[in-house]
Amino acid sequence: MNAPDRVDVLIAGGGLVGAALAVFLGQHPAFRALDIAVVEARPFSDNFGGAQFDPRVVAIAESARARLAEAGVWSDALAARACPYYRMEVRDSAGTGAIHFDCTEIHRPDLGHIVENSALLGPLHKTIESMDNVRFIYSAIADVRRLDGGDSLLLSLADGSELTAPLVIAADGGNSLVRERCDFELRAWDYGHSAIVATVSGELDHNFVARQWFTDYGPLAFLPLRTAEGDCRFVSIVWSLNHEEAERLMACDEEAFCRELTQAGEYSLGSIVSISRRFLLPLRQRHAVNYVQPGVALVGDAAHTIHPLAGQGVNLGFADASVLAEELGRALERGLPLGHLSALERYQRRRKPANLAMMAAMEGFKRLFDAGPPVVRLLRNDGMNLLDRLGPMKNRLIRQAMGL
Ligand SMILES: Cc1cc2nc3c(=O)[nH]c(=O)nc-3n(C[C@H](O)[C@H](O)[C@H](O)COP(=O)(O)OP(=O)(O)OC[C@H]3O[C@@H](n4cnc5c(N)ncnc54)[C@H](O)[C@@H]3O)c2cc1C
């Protein structure tokens, strides 16, 4: 076997967060002359366009969009495909509680954008291709171990090759192999929910409104989409349900499913008239006790996965990537070696409290809306209506969600 190839920084996983991190690091002046490799198991291909939408979408908050724009990733093509939402409506299906958010109330052009994962990965890849110091290696990481002496890590890839690096950043998602092989302690629990995701179209336009209902079985989101030609009848649905109900709905034929969705979505798009293939994703909360150890850092879903009900997962991941790139760049400029624990710990100190706070808030929401007793429902509905009338507090909440 050939001697292992040596790289300066190895990013495990080139999903949204790994690819964004590669861009942020590659653009940092301290990394100009270094060799950054992104090892990704699945080559990227974008088979979507027109009225064919990627079933996986994310709600991108303004802070994340601004960071991507600063890096040159928020291209005109991406802006044309991304669907802004100007209003957001959150309703309790079991009562009259509702909260409305409107971008004009906080003097912003929009509240965020719904973007297909592949529509965002495309410009991230294009940006990386234009950089001399970053390269993609397409193969699955099969094993990770520390070399004798402990200063570097050795990664074995499925194609039989090996790589060493003094710094490995795990961006390999919720089931991170790097996290597991490096013995990071993990707190994980099942939400008791699975999410059905699909693209549907209704009789009516969505009018750039993102909608969410808290139903008896879990939250349902309608996330607005648009074609480049401006057809606004499509929404991506994320319907989080207890497992039993999710399986029942997955087993329904399309007509029956659309009928139930029309009702759960309170006819907001008229009747649902078409649906793509449905996917069922189990939802699990995970949080690594530590994000770092010498020579290794976790980012994005490898460090934390949260319930999709507030659409924050990838936004937290982009913030991880941005802060880590900043701290690593600062450490190099101060003459510290790559992978030095002090720089990694600064990253952890800046990101862990924010991620934990968001996870706690999502857990609280989920429990509040899981609660069945009538008195809790009544208070919940009153609370939502009260918050809806409290302009300043409501506006602070939405500005926080937008990362402003
Ligand atoms: C139903 C649902 C809806 C969501 N909606 C939103 C939303 O509206 N807004 C939001 O902010 N977030 C949302 N999220 C969360 C968001 O999708 C994730 O936080 C985000 O995709 C995480 O990105 P990542 O790059 O960290 O991980 P991933 O997207 O999981 O990427 C990991 C990458 O690593 C690669 N990989 C894995 N193992 C290996 C290996 N051994 N070797 C090489 N490569 C490997 C994978 O192929 C993949 O490309 C949602 C999640 C779900 C489940």
Nearest CA to ligand 1 atom 27: 173
Nearest CA to ligand 1 atom 12: 313
Against a cut of 0.85, is the pTM above it? yes
| CB 308 near ligand 1, within 6 Å | yes
| CB 238 near ligand 1, within 6 Å | yes
CA of 295 to the centre of ligand 1 (A): 23
Domain boundaries, the chain: 5-401
Would the pLDDT of 327 be above 80? yes
Q: How confident is the model at residue 373 (pLDDT cuts 50, 70, 90)?
A: low
pLDDT of residue 376: 62
Nearest CA to ligand 1 atom 48: 15
pLDDT tens digits for range 280-318: 999 988 999 999 999 999 999 999 999 887 788 999 999
| CB 26 near ligand 1, within 6 Å | no
| CB 13 near ligand 1, within 6 Å | yes
pLDDT of residue 1: 60
Burial, 239: exposed, middle or buried (Cβ in 10 Å; 0-12, 13-18, 19+)?
buried
Q: How confident is the model at residue 256 (pLDDT cuts 50, 70, 90)?
A: very high
Number of neighbours of residue 229 by Cβ within 10 angstroms: 8
Cα angle 162, 165, 168 (rounded to 5 degrees) comes to 105
Point out which residues pair with 169 in neighbouring strands. 11, 297
Evaluate whether the domain defined by 5-401 bears CATH number 3.50.50.60: yes
pLDDT of residue 104: 93
pLDDT of residue 268: 96
| CB 134 near ligand 1, within 6 Å | no
CA of 174 to the centre of ligand 1 (A): 7
pLDDT tens digits for range 32-64: 999 999 999 999 988 888 889 999 999 999 999
Burial, 298: exposed, middle or buried (Cβ in 10 Å; 0-12, 13-18, 19+)?
buried
Q: Between the CA of residue 207 and those of 8, 87, 107, 315, what are the distances in Å?
A: 48, 9, 19, 24
Tokens of residue 307, six digits: 């319930």
| CB 142 near ligand 1, within 6 Å | no
Q: Between the CA of residue 265 and those of 180, 307, 353, what are the distances in Å?
A: 40, 20, 35
Going 177 to 182 to 183 to 187, the CA torsion angle's sign is negative
